[in-house]
Amino acid sequence: MFEPIQNLYRELMVATENHQVISMQAIIAAMYVLAFATSLFRAIGNKELFSDFLSIATVVVKYAVTSLLMEYVLIFIAENQSIGNTQNIYFVACLINLISIYILYLIHTKFSYKFGLLFFCVIKLTVVLSIAHFILWFKFVVLDIQAEHAYIHYMYSFIVLYISIVLAVVMLFPGLLKTKLKLLLSPSWPFGTKS
């Protein structure tokens, strides 16, 4: 039952030395850079909320930092042929996400007095991403469960990939958050509030 899912997971998400296709991460990174460039031009022309520009800039910087850290970890594993303490990268990624939320809030209170829909979307998705990183770190490091419960890896990979793609889409097209599609793009919690 899980074999097709496992094959898809290995093809799209597992980095190997002979991986021939363009990875999803490279496509997402290109979308983030395009979203940042587009947002910069729209902000310069006063065609976009400054809140949206700040949100996009924070997400792009956070993505670049976490991608570089993950690349460093993969190089370390390849050179040393050992995982060692590299599984703590998930906890570091969780902390980076939480710090990015704090920084995003600080720069909004300092430079933009209006919190746009993209701001709230980024906050909510980053919280979900932080929780996913923490759960995987807890499984690997605290509980010391490596290969068992593979479904957690699949759920983690799906969540990270989904959130990365959703962030790219809403950063490229922030107007989507004003449509009914926002139900697919942004969690609608806390309940009873408008997002």
- For every residue of 108-127, DSSP letters joined together read HHHH-S---HHHHHHHHHHH
In single-letter form, the type of residue at position 56 comes to I
Residue 153 backbone class (left: φ over 0; alpha: ψ -120 to 50; beta: rest)? alpha
Q: Are 146 and 140 in contact (CB under 8 A)?
A: yes
Query: Hey, is 188 helix, strand or coil?
Result: coil
- Name the strand (E) or helix (H) holding 136: helix 117-137
Residue 2: predicted pLDDT: 57
- When mean pLDDT is compared across 19-23, 50-54, 67-71, 137-141, the lowest value belongs to 19-23
Residue 69: predicted pLDDT: 87
Instruction: Give the pTM.
Output: 0.82
In this predicted structure, the answer to whether residue 182 has a pLDDT above a threshold of 90 is no
CA dihedral 72, 149, 152, 86 (to 10 degrees): -20
CA-to-CA dists, residue 66 to 36, 107, 147, 195, angstroms: 17, 20, 24, 27
Residue 192: predicted pLDDT: 47
In this predicted structure, the answer to whether residue 100 has a pLDDT above a threshold of 90 is yes
In this predicted structure, the answer to whether residue 164 has a pLDDT above a threshold of 60 is yes
Per-residue pLDDT averaged across 40-44, rounded? Answer: 89
Q: Which residue has the higher pLDDT, 157 or 130?
A: 130
Token match 């594993």: residue? 77
Which band of pLDDT confidence, cut at 50, 70 and 90, is reported for residue 124?
Answer: very high
In this predicted structure, the answer to whether residue 13 has a pLDDT above a threshold of 60 is no
In this predicted structure, the answer to whether residue 19 has a pLDDT above a threshold of 50 is no
Mean pLDDT of the chain: 81
Report which DSSP code applies to 178: G
In this predicted structure, the answer to whether residue 22 has a pLDDT above a threshold of 60 is no
In this predicted structure, the answer to whether residue 9 has a pLDDT above a threshold of 60 is no
Residue 14: predicted pLDDT: 55
Q: Are 28 and 45 in contact (CB under 8 A)?
A: no
Q: What is the rounded distance in angstroms from the CA atom of residue 27 to the CA atom of residue 13?
A: 12
- When mean pLDDT is compared across 95-99, 113-117, 120-124, the lowest value belongs to 113-117
Cβ neighbours of residue 126 under 8 Å, at least 6 residues apart? 59, 62, 97, 100, 101
